Amino acid sequence: MNPSNPARKRQPGQPPPPRRESASARAARAARIAAELARAYPHAGCSLDFESPFQLLIATILSAQCTDKRVNVVTPSVFRRWPDPTALAAAAPEELEAVIRSTGFFRAKARSILGCCRGLVDRHGGTVPRTLEELVRLPGVGRKTANVVLGSAFGIASGVVVDTHVGRIARRLGLTRQADAVRAERDLSVSVPRGEWIAFSHRLIEHGRSVCTARAPRCDACPLADLCPRVGVRAGRVGR
């Protein structure tokens, strides 16, 4: 053994380092993870309140750096005052900012919402398009927002929604190493069965809230324990 580079000793209770996994083996494990999540969270779904694709689009823009719970408090006031893309596109910026202020970053969000609604009116006759390519051309709409709308409003599996929580848990599960959401989505889209793309994110978010928390994951109560290499989890951080 090289004394200048001693082997790092694994602490008691710490999981072994993840082994290199082939793409086919990762896909098989991802399918099992999806099945276990379906059993554990059969009713998981979008936690943003909406009655139309338009409402979900606006709610998802507002959800950036904000809890869904707070967004659900704010959106009824938005849609009572501006019930459709035409009305919202004509809103005075300062009035919209005042209504959405509590969601944070309200000036940037107001610009995105106004630009998005003007795009809906000018390019799509006031209707929300049903393709990823058209959605991401709207101001303020990225891949995550587009995937949320297509999946939850239209039932179209255009990709895997990767937010902060999904990315964190996917890395912990060894399904991706990528911190960038677009690259992480690419990895998950390869491994997770396409038929599970929409539900997978909802269930992973629910799992992150109830079991696989950021600071103290409850690995002892985890339905995925036998499938998870616990990447980045230190023994002292495991909750009970």
- How far apart (Å, rounded) are the C-alpha atoms in residues 123 and 13? 57
Say which amino acid occupies 170.
Answer: A
Catalytic residue among 49, 68, 84, 163: 163
Catalytic residue among 49, 122, 144, 226: 144
Taking each helix axis from N to C end, the angle separating 197-210 and 143-154, rounded to the nearest 10 degrees, works out to 100
Looking from the CA of 12 toward its CB, the CA atoms found within 13 Å total 0
Query: At 22, phi and psi to the nearest 5?
Result: -70, 160
Say which amino acid occupies 111.
Answer: R
How far is C-alpha 68 from the chain's CA centre? 11
- How far apart (Å, rounded) are the C-alpha atoms in residues 131 and 33? 28
Q: Is 180 a catalytic residue?
A: no
Q: Is 163 a catalytic residue?
A: yes
Q: Which long-range contacts (CB under 8 A, 24 or more apart) does 49-54 make?
A: 49/75, 50/75, 50/152, 50/153, 52/128, 52/153, 53/128, 53/149, 53/153, 53/154, 54/84, 54/85, 54/120, 54/128
- How far apart (Å, rounded) are the C-alpha atoms in residues 170 and 33? 11
Q: Where are the alpha helices (DSSP H) in the chain?
A: 23-40, 53-62, 68-81, 85-89, 93-100, 106-124, 132-135, 143-154, 164-172, 181-191, 197-210
Please give the positions annotated as active site.
144, 163
